[in-house]
Amino acid sequence: MGDTPVIGVLALQGDVREHLIALAAADAVARPVRRPEELAEVDGLVLPGGESTTISKLAALFGVLDPLRARVRAGLPVYGTCAGMILLADKILDPRSGQETVGGIDMIVRRNAFGRQNESFEAAVDIKGVGGDPVEGVFIRAPWVESVGARVEVLAEHEGHIVAVRQANALATSFHPELTGDHRVHSLFADMVRASRTPESL
């Protein structure tokens, strides 16, 4: 398939379709992923926005949570937006009962930190590694990052709060770039996936 990465979107709950469209626009082959055998066939994975507790429970139910954790630990490129950011956190400040995460980024995340659904907003966000004008960030019941470990690079802040981070092959944003028609963040992730692939796999 040449230099075209196959990137999955965890398709259990949330805004899956919008991510599939954005990834295709970023010159990736985009596939929904629900089961371990589908996870095994992708070069990278997006964890979409939605409800983080529901996504983690469905991931366990579909038998994909543990394989996903293993692949992330092994270096699978992964990008989480909003609820996906919560899922990638090694620690949640205010978890719901029984809530689990995939982990992969040494950060502490606060759920719904920017407010409830009716307090959703849009804001221009300067993201390190994304050229051109600021990205329009759509914040919907969005988390923020309370603190990060030494290996985590902060890519963006909004009003003094961390809203985008990267650690090795893991990327996370508090906001939803897939809802704006601006595919630059997905292109950044697709480039991360390309860079992670060995020559033998191309």
Tens-place pLDDT, residues 83-139 = 999 999 999 987 776 788 999 999 999 998 998 888 899 999 999 999 999 999 999
Q: Which of 82, 158, 183, 186 is catalytic?
A: 82
Note the pLDDT tens digit of each residue in 105-120. 999 999 989 988 888 9
Q: pLDDT-derived band of residue 202, with 50, 70 and 90 as boundaries?
A: very low
Question: Looking at residues 33-37, what average pLDDT do you find?
Answer: 97
Q: Is 183 a catalytic residue?
A: no
**82 among known catalytic residues:** yes
Given 18, 178, 183, 186, the catalytic residue: 178
Q: Which of 19, 158, 176, 183 is catalytic?
A: 176
Q: What are the backbone angles phi and psi of residue 103, rounded to the nearest 5°? A: 80, 180
* C-alpha–C-alpha distance, residues 27 and 55, integer Å: 27
Question: Would you call 192 helix, strand, or coil by DSSP?
Answer: helix
pLDDT tens, residue by residue, 140-176? 999 999 999 999 999 999 999 999 999 999 999 999 9
Say if CB 163 and CB 175 are below 8 A apart.
Answer: yes
CA nearest neighbour of 17 among 31, 28, 6, 29: 31
Kindly state the tokens that stand for 182.
Answer: 């601006």
What pLDDT score does 99 carry?
A: 80
